[in-house]
Chain A
Amino acid sequence: MSRVFKLKSSDNETFEVEEAAALLSETIKSSSSTEITVPNVKAEILGKVVEWCNKHAESEDTKDQLIKEWDAEFVSVDQHVLFKLITAADYLQIKELVDQLTQRVGDMIKAKTLKTVEMTYPTFNVEREVQEELKSLGF
């Protein structure tokens, strides 16, 4: 008999989640209660996290092409929603969701910064560096 968990958002909305989906969260897994309040996460965001968990609980093979497409759609949200989702997924410790969301952020950063990346290491003269290295080794 599978347990049902109740997740409560910061604005007092409750989501019922089946055990298989709920246990994707390490936080829920290690909780002693089946009622968990998620602070600072509103219903809109918590609902999406629950949606992700439900989707991933029902598909056994996460390498399936269809679920990959679904995941890609899922993370294609406005950046502010994205950041809120990351905070929620991190609190709930859903590793795979955090990975997908942060990868999306990485892609967005690359797309914005490709023309403006600067090395913060000071530029150096290779020949001189090698010379110094050799000296420090006693050559």
Chain B
Amino acid sequence: MGASLSNLTEGANGSGLGPGLGDIPENCVACVFMYLTPPEICNLARLNRAFRGAASSDAVWESKLPPNYHGLLDLLPPERYQNLSKKDIFALLSRPVPYDDANKVLWLDRVTGRVCMSISAKAMAITGIEDRRYWNWIPTEESRFHVVAYLQQIWWYEVDGVVKFPFPADIYTLSFRLHIGRFAKRLGRRVCNFEHTHGWDIKPVRFELWTPDGQQASYECCLDQIEHDDAYGSHKRGCWVDYKVGEFIVTDADPVTEVRFSMKQIDCTHSKGGLCVDSVFIIPSNLKERKRKGVLK
């Protein structure tokens, strides 16, 4: 990295090629930074004093924060963010910020500064959740929330949720994070147990989302398909899968956005079970796309 960048920054005292990026005024370096992403800025901050100064500039970091970042800060106790520079505020918000009794977590994507959110199953209305014959809560480190809801067996399967939040204007994708089968650590290895897994191949599950302003999206699929060859079926079993429900749009005009979502399989002629429900993710759509294509890690 040093080799390719240093010829951009060598000053007149260096190779005699003329002024380098390090010679231009700090406020101009700050202008350059307006066009770069936070990781790029942090990378360049090491180069020299003007860069380091510009990389701490409030103007630069304010432009990376979402327009309504004050609303996000309100989720934290004031002493956490008082007297912080905009750069530190960005750093603070780019780590998971829990709210709503820690049943929801949000964070800014470090590259784009866009808001992402994860909602725990604990915050959802799950039919039959109080009955241990049907559902149990399993503590696990595989969830951000340290617990997932495990379904043993039920006829009426319904999971509903709602989130009301001042999302910045963007197009968001909502998805459910699910795991077919149960998992545990045995002698240091992860093992999966499908003893209760049944019923998901009979009829599809219906995922849906909707907003008060008339947006709606839905998706149906069979979670488990044992009729297909084993390779396809086993791909979905035993690992966490994000089931995309659909997208919703937030415009600048919306101070607070409300999104309702649900996952249902209520055909009571067959029972279903052996499924873990962890959370719902709300991620800006282009971000999800870039991650999927492997552009971002």
Q: With contacts defined as CB atoms under 8 Å apart, how many contacts are there between chain A and chain B in the complex?
A: 111
Contact in complex: B43, A117 (CB < 8 Å): yes
Q: B71 to chain A: which residues have CB within 8 Å?
A: none
Contact in complex: B36, A106 (CB < 8 Å): yes
A99-117 Cβ-contact flags toward B at 8 Å (1 or 0):
1001101111110110011
| A-B CB contact pairs (8 Å), 29 listed | A79-B8, A83-B19, A83-B20, A83-B24, A86-B24, A86-B28, A87-B23, A87-B28, A90-B27, A103-B35, A106-B32, A106-B36, A108-B8, A109-B8, A109-B32, A112-B8, A113-B40, A117-B39, A119-B110, A120-B42, A120-B43, A120-B46, A121-B42, A121-B91, A130-B98, A130-B145, A131-B146, A134-B102, A137-B77
Contact in complex: B31, A120 (CB < 8 Å): no
Which B residues have a C-beta under 8 Å from some C-beta of A? Answer: 1, 4-5, 8, 17-21, 23-25, 27-28, 31-37, 39-40, 42-46, 77, 91, 94-98, 101-102, 105, 110, 141, 144-146
Q: Which of B1, B21, B23, B95 contacts A118 (CB 8 A)?
A: B1
Give, as a whole number of angstroms, the nearest-CB distance from B238 to chain A: 20
Which A residues have a C-beta under 8 Å from some C-beta of B? Answer: 79-80, 83-84, 86-87, 90, 98-99, 102-103, 105-110, 112-113, 116-121, 124, 126-127, 129-131, 133-134, 137, 139
Q: B98 to chain A: which residues have CB within 8 Å?
A: 130, 133-134, 137, 139
Q: A113 to chain B: which residues have CB within 8 Å?
A: 1, 4-5, 40, 43
Task: Give bound CA distance, A112 to B32, whole Å.
Answer: 14
Contact in complex: A133, B97 (CB < 8 Å): yes
Nearest opposing residue in chain B for A118, CB measure? B43
Counting from the closest, the 3 A-B pairs by CB-CB distance are A106-B35, A80-B18, A102-B31
